[in-house]
Chains A and B, each alone.
Chain A
């Protein structure tokens, strides 16, 4: 069966929208769980929690459940650390049938004690998986007991896979972080200070962003959670501002911190020259009593763009008029990508996300050109269909989308866990343009029956 002959999945019509002149308002049905029987690209609550907390490198992360959940999330995300690397190990209580019958609390307790003795971590995160939600282990009690005995924070993460969507997993992770925040001393923290939220240091991206802010004379108290450290998180309530990227995962934490500690937050994106510059200016504006911060921000933007912009013209010349399809986790990222692609002359013919909300999709509609297809929670069949129909030259997505692009004979850029080079910051925009250029213009496509079957 060819994918282009397939109709839209029944019940999916409401999650797909095509922008037309005078067309209807966007009324995409998002925030729903996927239809039973669909080949969804989405994951679960546990996955959401795991990706958010995983980069905290001096804590142990124990997955309480059968082996799979730990095995599939063992070091698959290139969230790099400048020091300890406990996050790259895989710990599981490896629950067996008897544990399911009699409960896994004792096993969890023993595991925690053994691990803390062995690795001397600064904290421990305990992730509940589906089965824990069913057998009713009281992991809160176990965590409390171990925390008391070992003298380190031990935090339950209520991430049972079936209890919602990935977004609920983000929330569970944020709740765990919230119990840490406020437990450290804020002594010596500058008035000109921020926390970087929703930046996971994939390929070292948090380091790039941190350096920009530090060059502006701003103190970065904590990055959450890229290259994350427990002590920094504990004192992060001492910062004057929360700067939130990847809004889907960390906005709830920012809101909680605002409520409890009165720390305002702004939403930013570090992808593309435009958004990157804006995220420096937006922060500088909030410290008006020290104008040199804004001066410095301007200087950074000027220097960086001067360095990379000319080199990018080669890519732009080759890519102008090419078309891209975007299917990523969060909708916020899609906004930045549309702008970044325009910088290099490319238009977007398909834009979608796994976890966008109504506002996101309305905004997407405004940003997109006529004829752009907007999808929520798509599947490979639909993606293939639209990529072929719209004659895309590039797909931007994650692990499951990559081979689809290559089978269809279009270029690909991983904008998810498996990026190998930083795509954030000014240098990241250059890297992105280069990667897109290399993939779209690759000589391999001359050997492939490109877009075969369409014409």
Chain B
């Protein structure tokens, strides 16, 4: 089907939800949606369905009047209300298609709030511009993370023995794993944002408005004094690293998100080099266990065709890992646009010249389905919305990315690092072998693998 206009079954969503997710990774922060009530409600519902956790965010509740006269009064009132009643340390405001189109300038309005004394002493309002008609949820996330870096960081002129790790869009479990690896290596890091202990909070019998997790204001402020930044993801994390370099000359390196063996190797090596520490034996052993399993099971992977869809910073290292496993990533789709993404993907796909890859406009689930019909695959990897294709075409399916509305686990078990990669290997193998056991001929039905 030739298409000019429309998107059928999107492989992305809009910027504001990314900004909301990122802001939840600051301790004591209440995200604020400057737009209609529905936006905020939809984002909270989607994040709640993904995390099975309460998700708090406020809205400017635009009305027809605000849309004619501008939303300044709404936002000023919102700031006052929020600090009076919900008492956060920080309000992280993001815009929407509505407020952007009527021309609200968040920088100017937050400045006015400050000048008018609406921001109490020791409290902060940060902002990010996230119109829904640009980019995707991923770029919205990047914009808010950049906002954190730009608007909080200060430099005292004195370097701190610490490294900024800027998390691309990953799960709380992944952030927890990055912190664990860094600790294991004895490296002091400032990880931001950090949604662990926010969106994977324990059952306490209380509803905490501000759970204990999240990067703190003082940590964010200190990021201007760090030795360097490692940005985990060229789309969702790099813009914040660039901002820190511009503002405080903090050098940075952009890495792929450490999913899979090679990308984790690069992360561990970069962290070790930047901090001047050796890789400890325990991490080498973790790596060894992953390689061991990859070797033990190599015969089951090779030549297996995979279709995958989702977000740039996941797809890049995931594709590389599939190639390292000797699998064939044949169809790759992402609704998120970006030349940087294109370029990095082309590099990875030099080893897979057969692969179909499309991102940006009209790169949606309808296209992916067409591709799969033309060239069937053995495995599908992507968010919950892949389940229609998986069912229609009877393909083993692994859930990965955002949103996952029908399974749990992503909040608790990481995909990053060697242990996360090992989990991925287990998932891939189980999906393939379960399928074989269920459908193979009687004489091929084997007890021992």
The residues of A with any CB-CB pair to B shorter than 8 Å are 1-4, 6-7, 9-11, 33-47, 62, 65-74, 76, 89-97, 99-100, 107-111, 114-115, 118, 129-131, 133-135, 161-165, 380-381, 384, 399-400, 402-404, 406-409, 447-453
Contact = CB atoms under 8 A, between A and B. Distances in A.
A261 B226 CA distance: 74
A452 B205 contact: yes
A404 B46 CA distance: 15
Contacts of A449: 203-205
22 contacts: A3-B208, A10-B84, A36-B78, A46-B38, A62-B6, A67-B132, A68-B16, A69-B38, A93-B6, A94-B10, A95-B133, A96-B133, A97-B131, A129-B97, A130-B98, A134-B67, A161-B38, A163-B64, A399-B48, A400-B55, A403-B52, A449-B204
A89 B385 CA distance: 11
A3 B10 contact: no
Contacts of B179: none
B236 interface: no
Q: Ordered nearest first, which 4 A-B pairs have the shortest CB separation? A: A452-B205, A44-B38, A68-B14, A37-B81
A400 B132 contact: no
B5 A93 contact: yes
A47 B42 CA distance: 9
Nearest to B91: A37
Interface string B57-83: 111111110110000001101111110
A381 B209 contact: yes
Contacts of B239: none
A66 B203 contact: no
Contact of A68 (B2, B39, B53): B39
A122 B131 CA distance: 34
Given A74-B10, A90-B10, A36 B207 contact: no
Contact of B6 (A71, A94, A135): A94
A11 B58 CA distance: 15
Contacts, number: 271
Contacts of B41: 40-44, 47, 400
A123 B67 CA distance: 32
B4 interface: yes
Given A2-B206, A74-B9, A134-B67, A35 B42 contact: no
Contacts of A91: 6-8
B6 A92 contact: yes
Contact of A9 (B4, B36, B81, B206): B81
A67 B136 contact: yes
Contact of B63 (A69, A89, A162, A400): A162
Nearest to A62: B6
Contact of B101 (A38, A135, A403): A135
A96 B4 CA distance: 13
Contacts of A35: 61, 77, 81
Given A68-B42, A70-B7, A72-B13, A39 B98 contact: no
Contact of A96 (B201, B209, B361): B361
B35 interface: yes
Given A42-B37, A94-B10, A133-B67, A399 B208 contact: no
Contact of B203 (A7, A100, A111, A448): A448
Contacts of A65: 97, 132
B37 A33 contact: yes
Contacts of B74: 36
A162 B209 contact: no
A10 B14 contact: no
Contact of A3 (B52, B81, B101, B206): B206
A11 B84 CA distance: 12
Contacts of B205: 407-409, 448-453
Contacts of B78: 36-37
Nearest to A399: B45
A9 B66 CA distance: 22
B9 A89 contact: yes
B84 to A, nearest CB: 6
Nearest to A107: B5
Contacts of B1: 114, 118
Contacts of B51: 403
A129 B67 CA distance: 13
A45 B86 contact: no
B410 interface: no
Contact of A40 (B59, B64, B82): B59
Contacts of A162: 35-36, 62-64, 66-67, 98
B102 interface: yes
Contact of B85 (A9, A70, A118, A453): A9
A38 B81 contact: yes
A381 to B, nearest CB: 7
A111 B3 CA distance: 8
A47 to B, nearest CB: 5
Contacts of A135: 101
A400 B207 CA distance: 13
